């Protein structure tokens, strides 16, 4: 068995990719450089917009994402992660062109939520494409967990502009809009939130949102999954 080498298919967007990389470091119990998770990153932002593609307003991002997956395989990645929830709409196609297994961000997030307990009703802060792909609903339904998402009006006035503001580097503006989208879910009965768009934790961090304390950060869940793979493979090599 060889030690894990985590491949990151990034660029969707670049800030969310860097956020994941930072959280992999934060989640690693390391006493020296050599204890950290080996990572190779394909942070190429010139991937067509996932939300626009699913809305029928742009080209498919699949060919560009597949090129990144193949590059990570060629670099020797043993596992691949994608710090973009909407990109997981194409998960099966991407896994089909990858020798290395891809860790699913929704599975990692739901597992992290279950480990923390006290679930209740879960509000999903996600793009329309992520919601329509039922990436989270299927996993939560299987566990008997009720989930809700933003209304069409909230998506148009709060979530989507907030997401794109973060992508433009206007993190405080985006964070404030995304926080309001989360508060709308709490007002309708949600007791926990899943930040099912990797721009959301970037925006929340910029405004130090109080909602972070009741939220499952999908990027942090992915980071923890990466650390587990590394530790498992490293431990196996030591035996």
- Residues noted as catalytic: 84, 197
**Cα–Cα distance measured from residue 148 to residue 122, given in angstroms and rounded to the nearest whole number:** 6
**Cα–Cα distance measured from residue 112 to residue 117, given in angstroms and rounded to the nearest whole number:** 9
**Cα–Cα distance measured from residue 70 to residue 147, given in angstroms and rounded to the nearest whole number:** 35
> What is the torsion angle, in degrees rounded to the nearest 10, for the CA atoms of residue 157, residue 160, residue 166 and residue 168?
-100
**Cα–Cα distance measured from residue 81 to residue 197, given in angstroms and rounded to the nearest whole number:** 14
Residues in Cβ contact with 191 at an 8 Å cutoff, skipping those fewer than 6 apart: 118, 119, 120, 121, 122, 214
Alpha helices in the chain (DSSP H): 14-26, 50-54, 62-74, 91-96, 105-116, 128-132, 137-141, 152-154, 160-167, 171-187, 199-207, 218-238
Structure tokens at 114: 């279950």
Residue 42, φ and ψ in degrees, nearest 5 = -105, 90
Helix/strand/coil (H/E/C) assignment for every residue in 79-92: EEECCCCHHHHHHH
């Amino acid at each position: 068995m060889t030690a894990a080498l985590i491949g990151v298919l990034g660029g969707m967007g670049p800030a969310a990719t860097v956020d994941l990389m930072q959280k992999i470091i934060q989640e690693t119990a390391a006493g020296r450089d050599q204890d950290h998770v080996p990572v190779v990153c394909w942070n190429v932002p010139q991937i067509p917009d996932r939300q626009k593609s699913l809305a029928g307003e742009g080209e498919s991002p699949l060919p560009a994402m597949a090129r990144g997956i193949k590059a990570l395989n060629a670099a020797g990645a043993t596992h691949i992660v994608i710090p973009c929830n909407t990109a997981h709409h194409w998960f099966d196609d991407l896994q089909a062109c990858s020798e290395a297994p891809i860790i699913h961000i929704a599975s990692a997030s739901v597992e992290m939520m279950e480990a923390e307990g006290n679930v209740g009703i879960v509000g999903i802060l996600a793009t329309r494409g992520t919601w329509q792909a039922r990436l989270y609903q299927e996993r939560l339904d299987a566990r008997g967990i009720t989930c809700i998402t933003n209304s069409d009006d909230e998506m148009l006035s709060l979530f989507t502009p907030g997401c794109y503001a973060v992508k433009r580097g206007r993190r405080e503006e985006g964070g404030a809009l995304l926080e309001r989208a989360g508060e709308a879910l709490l007002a309708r009965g949600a007791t926990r939130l899943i930040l099912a768009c990797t721009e959301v934790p970037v925006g929340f961090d910029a405004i130090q949102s109080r909602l972070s304390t009741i939220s499952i950060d999908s990027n942090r869940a992915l980071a923890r999954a990466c650390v587990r793979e590394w530790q498992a493979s490293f431990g196996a090599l030591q035996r």
